[in-house]
Chains A and B, each alone.
Chain A
Amino acid sequence: MKIYLKIWRQKNANDKGGMVDYTLDGVESDMSFLEMLDVLNEELIAKGEEPVEFDHDCREGICGTCSLMINGRPHGPDSRITVCQLHMRSFDDGDTIVIEPWRAKAFPVIKDLIVDRTAFDRIQQAGGYISVNTSGRPVDANAIPIEKDAADASFNAATCIGCGACVAACKNASAMLFTSAKVSQFALLPQGQVEAADRVMNMVRQMDLEGFGNCTNTGACEVECPKGISLENIARMNREYLAASVKG
């Protein structure tokens, strides 16, 4: 296959950046999208040019590192996958592919297609945990039976890989799906109840401080989320926050 690429190139955070066109021949449909970029980079290196930098690590859809906006959609045209799981068989010979970094004020570009997602870490640091010491003596794991449905719902919320596709997809660059998934994971478990009110207040405060936009319930995040995190989590966070505000 022959593929035409339009890729965002930006030297560093201060550089203005812009789109650059590349043409790549001999692309095979078995290649993953990132392997296609590897091939491009090998060509660029051979020509003495700087390769395109993009974030990636596990290449099996779980670490949440890869983060490309492909033809205007996070993680590309297929649903329920990350970029590293996207294969070139989803494209046709002669296609033009536009590749951009995630765009959000809270996710500044570091270089080329790499953005800084530490805002997500700070949201989690604000309260995304249960305060229990390892050095303490926790009770036996089976001492607290948890209803299977609640455990499953908690797990489903916890499957978030923190890739940021929700922010990238949202027209408001809102981080509600991410934040609410973490809030939900703990809100659904008995262990998480004690700190539930503080947790949601603190995490939402940090989310707002980071400069993410407001949720307008368009649902784009849910559609683009590689792990299928549900909008129900956002509703749950809205509920938890309201209850916590009234209480506090």
Chain B
Amino acid sequence: MAVLDAKVPSGPLADKWTKHKNEIDLVNPANKRNIDIIVVGTGLAGGSAAATLAELGYNVKTFCYQDSPRRAHSIAAQGGVNAAKNYQGDGDSVYRLFYDTVKGGDYRSREANVYRLAEVSTNIIDQCVAQGVPFAREYGGLLDNRSFGGVLVSRTFYAKGQTGQQLLLGAYAAMNRQIQRGKIKSYTRHEMLDLVLVDGKARGIIARNLVSGEIERHAAHAVVLATGGYGNLFFLSTYCMGANVMAAWKAHKKGAHFANPCFTQIHPTCIPVSGDHQSKLTLMSESLRNDGRIWVPAKKEDAEAIRAGQLKPTEIAEQDRDYYLERRYPAFGNLVPRDVASRAAKERCDAGYGVNKTGEAVYLDFDAAIMRYGREKALTSGMKNPDDVTVRKLGEEVVEAKYGNLFQMYEKIVDQNPYKTPMMIYPAVHYTMGGLWVDYNLMTTIPGCYAGGEANFSDHGANRLGASALMQGLADGYFVLPYTIGDYLSDDIRTGPISSDTPEFDEAEQNVRDRIHKLMSANGLHSVDYYHKKLGKIMWNKCGMARNGKDLKSAIKEIAELRKDFWENVKVTGVADGKNQELEKAGRVADFLELGELFAMDALQRNESCGGHFREEYQTPEGEALRDDDNFKYVAAWEYNGEPSKAKLHKEELTYENIKVKTRSYK
């Protein structure tokens, strides 16, 4: 266990964080001025961490590949951010948020971390409101909440369909204030290509200026990685096009353990694939499941007729529809957690009941909600016995006020009016719970290298609940990392400035240059996207929503072969010393081709089904996930050993002292 010391403080769960904050070493303000910190990634976790570290007095350098820190993909989160404020008085508490998160994660997360997350969640809302984040409010002027999948209380704060953007703009504004003060130096259109270790400690990075192509050295006393998840491994995902694993993977290759890579979240409500040209998938907010009812035809012949274009969904009678979530999970119905909803959709489609021409789609129907809201509205506006047309009209107005922007987005993409005909949805890769292994202080197994937000293996266990990603990113960045990092840096107050003119930097820079040269000088048979799409197909078919040992073994083999082919035959056009998007993509895909193999290995060793990881061999007779707590109640942390196939597995056993481990049931 020496390798994986989670450093969880002793004492009662509820006191751990306070106690820890009181006990850790601090750096005095005068010394903070002499300490440099690099933050890679400027999304919610990185942006908030950079701003807070600079506020505290450290000298911060931030790096992002985007043209502005504000564009990180946190911006795309629509639904909301959870916090145990209990403003609704519906029985919410820090413990309940903690409980829901651990249960939602299928008991594969670290208890103390999750409790801390729930504890600081309330500060997030206070902080963001103070920053001017325009959350939705009620007419009384107080903050509004809504509910999300997998929970029984209303604890989600939101800003219409733009919660992520508004929170990120808050963090970005806080960063801007520090940039103006000279405490943050922001490097945009820069990509971290390697982590530099000096005497075993993270002391800097090698970055490429994406505009000029220059390779730059940046030294610091500590490096924070907040570079998001690796869902683009699947090619098609709801991630932004540029999202990549490069920073985390480079850290992994330098000694940071990669934890639970196979824990991937497949989000149930995405717009289905329309063709081979598809470059990305679009998510429809989970909040739609509050009002939409999910169904497929109950009769196979109806499904076939729909796929052939001979039947419309609105022509199917109520009794011929199978509202399968309501049928299987009466307690939670359409609001079951994401992994459960996704798998149920796949089950129906695999059984031949899918709609859409591809057969890979289910309906999300608002008709009942429209009529329900319409009748309510008619009553409150004093109409007696309104006809159906009026009710429908009123109902559509209510639905538009709630989800107008999402409906419009759907119509733009699919060219169908979701007020008149049910939406079609299908699961898509959305989030990765796995990531760099971190201890309670969010430090990786490399001293001085920290990971926050989606980039770490996180607090979500095997499945993340809705509106928890924003919560975790901001909790790590605003309230955890800036303090825990002081514990490490307190030893560095006499170190003085870190030089980048050392053999370690020389070597790292040379490696980066060699790699670029190698990418640019391969045989040039196939484009980068060709390989990325191939990898994505392997991942989706064999490491996707349902996995089995046989497929995983063949995936490992196929990915290794594809990687070899890539390095021999990839075609990267353009030049290395200038803007070159093909080169950028090639570097990212090269890393995915390594991670993919580790991903499959991880899925293969985990002989159980839990959360987003569903092994076909391990299921109940009813098709529910079959967890194996006796043998797999651990975090799988992989140590790099020269190549992915040689990675060594370390286990961090998970212990639950404050929560009873039981079978997750949403029936």
Contacts and interface: CB of A to CB of B under 8 A. Distances in A.
Interface of A: 11-12, 28, 30-32, 34-35, 38-39, 42, 44-46, 48-51, 53, 55-65, 78, 80-81, 85, 87, 89, 110-111, 114, 116-118, 120-121, 124-135, 138-142, 144-148, 151-152, 154-155, 158-159, 161-162, 185-186, 189, 191-192
Interface string B282-306: 1100000000000000000000000
B562 interface: no
Interface in B288-335: none
A174 B71 CA distance: 22
Contacts of B59: none
8 contacts: A38-B529, A63-B75, A128-B176, A141-B143, A145-B141, A158-B162, A159-B165, A191-B130
B162 A62 contact: yes
A194 to B, nearest CB: 11
B132 A191 contact: yes
Interface in B579-632: 579, 581-582
Contacts of A63: 66, 71, 73, 75-76, 240
A90 to B, nearest CB: 10
A46 B530 CA distance: 11
Contacts of A56: 241
B137 interface: yes
Contacts of B127: 132, 134, 138
Contacts of B280: 59-60
Contacts of A35: 277-279
B579 A186 contact: no
Interface in B254-284: 274-275, 277-280, 282-283
Interface string B25-69: 000000000000000000000001001100110000000001111
Contact of B129 (A128, A141, A155): A141
A2 B579 CA distance: 30
Contact of A53 (B140, B174, B579): B579
B134 interface: yes
B188 A31 contact: no
Nearest to A114: B579
Of A55, A130, A144, A189, most buried by chain B (CB within 10 Å of CB) is A130
Contact of A59 (B67, B135, B136, B279): B279
Contact of B71 (A64, A133, A139, A152): A64
A185 B134 contact: yes
B134 A145 contact: no
B409 A61 contact: yes
Give the most central of A38, A46, A63: most B CB within 10 Å. A63
Given A56-B241, A141-B126, A129 B131 contact: yes
A51 B582 contact: yes
B656 interface: no
Contacts of B408: 80
A141 B274 contact: no
B478 A134 contact: yes
Contacts of A38: 277, 279, 529
Interface in B103-154: 123, 125-132, 134-143
B595 to A, nearest CB: 21
